[in-house]
Amino acid sequence: MSLAMTILLLPTLSIIFPALIPLVSGNGHVDTCRSYCGNVTIDYPFALQSGCGHPGFRDLLFCMNDVLMFHISSGSYRVLEIDYAYQSLTLHDPHLSTCDSIVLGGKGNGFEIEQWRAPYLNPTADNVFMLIGCSAQSPLFQGFPGKHLPCRNVSGMGCEEYYGCPGWTSVGTKRAGSAFGSGPPECCSVAFEAIKAINLTRLHCEGYSSAYSLAPLRVDGPRGWSYGIRVRYSVQGNDSFCRACVATGGTCGYGSDAVRELCMCGSWNSTSNCDSVHTSSSSRGTWSVVNVSAGIFIGIIVWMNIYMS
Ligand SMILES: *[C@@H]1O[C@H](CO)[C@@H](O)[C@H](O)[C@H]1NC(C)=O
Ligand SMILES: *[C@@H]1O[C@H](CO)[C@@H](O)[C@H](O)[C@H]1NC(C)=O
Ligand SMILES: *[C@@H]1O[C@H](CO)[C@@H](O)[C@H](O)[C@H]1NC(C)=O
Ligand SMILES: *[C@@H]1O[C@H](CO)[C@@H](O)[C@H](O)[C@H]1NC(C)=O
Ligand SMILES: *[C@@H]1O[C@H](CO)[C@@H](O)[C@H](O)[C@H]1NC(C)=O
């Protein structure tokens, strides 16, 4: 090797080595947690793999034949959309009544979530649940002071308008009953906050509908409502761990205890972020391999330089 070649090689290596270091150490490594299911993007705090995402959302989403499913104690739902900007998910239950069809028989999931998960997921305040065909013995009509009906409009949506839907023609409403004080109303609309769990068995109801309206003006009535369950998700205002992790090139996850958050930095995991090399022994290994090989190469160059000249 001539001196001229060595002189050319030195700057080349000094460019290559710094470029290699980030690849090995984790900065800029590929995000192994982000994924897709059909056309839905799965990103933090959600994940399909265990160990990825936020622990509050573990064992929640499953992808089956390109259909994203959401599983909680009341059942499985199809996820129609995840809106990361508004921190919400839109769920579909096949037994959910819509404007065109009223589904009776008590088969619907309703919406009830495990206690530990409740802080992370809640139907939105402007989502209306319309409970259909509930018996007079339903807790809906019992536990409230003075038997005052909890039924009310939510975000301008409620049963009064819902009765105008074509789905009711096949069922027939006894709606006049409520107006004349004989028996409960055929439909009672509530916000999730009011009862905290939609369990058709416990509420003695035959069916339910759920709707939300994204448009500020609801001129279309119940035909214009969107039928589905709109759920707000939250990492409890504490995404500081994940933000710091991502800012240092990491991917957010959690440990095998399913509680402690972890920052995955490629070849090692950090309990804070990828800039804190002291927390992992494997990180020292990675760095020393790079340093030793860099040292050997530079040694060879220096040696060649001396030998050749
Ligand atoms: C995903 O695809 C379904 C039909 O396969 C469509 O109805 C839905 O709007 C799509 N969602 C998004 C977010 O593109
Ligand atoms: C880092 O954590 C993830 C998630 O818990 C785990 O799957 C992975 O094996 C861990 N990697 C290392 C190098 O410990
Ligand atoms: C719904 O209520 C019934 C009767 O109280 C109960 O057996 C069932 O476990 C409840 N469902 C859920 C998801 O908690
Ligand atoms: C709900 O809204 C409808 C239509 O605006 C109205 O007729 C009805 O009285 C309201 N019901 C309740 C319980 O406020
Ligand atoms: C947020 O997370 C940090 C570190 O994970 C923790 O020290 C802090 O107490 C948390 N804050 C809240 C409000 O939970």
Give residue-wise pLDDT tens across range 227-261: 999 999 999 878 899 999 999 999 999 999 999 99
d(CA 295, CA 192): 64
Question: Is residue 305 in some structural domain?
Answer: no
| Interval between CA 292 and ligand 5 midpoint (Å) | 39
Question: Is residue 181 in some structural domain?
Answer: yes
Query: Considering only CA atoms, which of 134, 247, 266 is closest in space to residue 190?
Result: 134
The whole-number pLDDT of residue 76 equals 97
Question: Is residue 244 in some structural domain?
Answer: no
44-102: pLDDT as tens digits: 999 999 999 999 999 999 999 999 999 999 999 999 999 999 999 999 999 999 999 99
Torsional sign, CA 132, 135, 139, 142: positive
Question: Is residue 93 in some structural domain?
Answer: yes
For ligand 3, atom 10: residue with the closest CA: 199
Q: What is the pTM of this model?
A: 0.78
| Interval between CA 66 and ligand 3 midpoint (Å) | 30
Q: How confident is the model at residue 172 (pLDDT cuts 50, 70, 90)?
A: low
Query: Which residues surround ligand 5 with Cβ inside 6 Å?
Result: 238, 240-241
Q: How confident is the model at residue 308 (pLDDT cuts 50, 70, 90)?
A: low
48-61: pLDDT as tens digits: 999 999 999 999 99
> What's the domain count of the chain?
1
Question: Is residue 286 in some structural domain?
Answer: no
The whole-number pLDDT of residue 27 equals 46
- At 32, the amino acid letter reads T
Instruction: Supply the range of the domain harboring residue 188.
Output: 88-233
